[in-house]
Copies of this chain bind each other. A is one copy, B any other.
């Protein structure tokens, strides 16, 4: 480092206030470094529980945490509510929609977005489940389908309103299918006495030959059995060819009439800011060195979902633990670089994985051990509560869960028109039930 830069504190910019970005910032706390965290939202979202917001189980506010509060006691970390638009690598600058920031080191942890694989109609007609806004829009739509079905006299239209198709048998698809089944068999049955609930169908479509593929065999089988017991029709080896306003067409020619397609079948890395000249793979993820630096720039680290981190002949999965651990390591490596030392390689400590199917039904895999049903569900509850940021959010989530699990009630079944995405033309519930667009 030059003499000039030795005099002033090095500047680290972190783009993204997800798990990776927050843990990177915390790791740099109280160091002689100026840290700026940039995010488009002023809150951190606990994405693992997003499907419960879409199933009217939790409030949007329960799984969000104000970013500025995280840094109340960390004076060297600033927060900037802005959208990073362009990276100028030559001059070590980031242009946002508000100001331009200089950086000495940059950590990019902007995460992942839904991938439609360019399948026709998915972007226009399917509901996504990757952001708080999407979760709230999906919840509103589900309730509006029941409102519309309760007064629909044409049998075909009513059937389409009461048919819910979830595409993608990964964790999100499985967890949402289960949560939706419980929402419908519990409070919806009580809310809509005029609806014949034998007309309701929940279908989970998976293009591959098994659900929750990375899980051990016994948990995969348990998952299918459990979902079937809850009334979810699970179809494997079924790929989607097209989605329209009132149906989904499968590659084998089969057609399902439905107003609700929930697309959880694909994720890709979030688009990078423009002109960054950072090489990106076909899935939008950035190849990184073992140190988490990008291949062509030692000052730039990529972490979390956005990073394609190779380890033991595999690319690490897009999960919170990888984000947290890579965020910490990237920050530590920047501290090394500032001290004139070499960055160290990242090694992922796999803490296991878990899936919640429903009330008292979950699967947990830790190393070679697996747990199922009630004990796994308790582990799931405790670990998710523990990982929520903020004591208040924990109390709120616990209250909502207790309410839901003990009383089979869902407290948050509101259709707030104002929660609709601003650009959407959907205003009334009558419109909304007809579909996304």
Contact = CB atoms under 8 A, between A and B. Distances in A.
Contacts of A430: 97-98
A415 B41 contact: yes
A395 B390 contact: no
Contacts of A414: 41-43, 61, 64, 66
19 contacts: A41-B414, A59-B59, A60-B416, A61-B61, A61-B414, A64-B414, A64-B416, A66-B414, A68-B191, A68-B192, A69-B409, A78-B194, A132-B416, A133-B416, A393-B411, A395-B399, A418-B419, A418-B420, A422-B424
Copy tally for this chain in the complex stands at: 2
A416 B41 CA distance: 8
A25 interface: no
Contact of A133 (B69, B418, B424, B426): B418
Interface string A312-343: 00000000000000000000000000000000
A428 interface: yes
Contacts of A419: 416, 418-419
Contact of A403 (B151, B392, B400, B424): B392
A429 to B, nearest CB: 6
A84 to B, nearest CB: 13
Contacts of A392: 399-400, 403, 409, 411
A384 interface: no
A366 interface: no
Interface string A390-421: 10110110011001000001011111111111
A411 B390 contact: yes
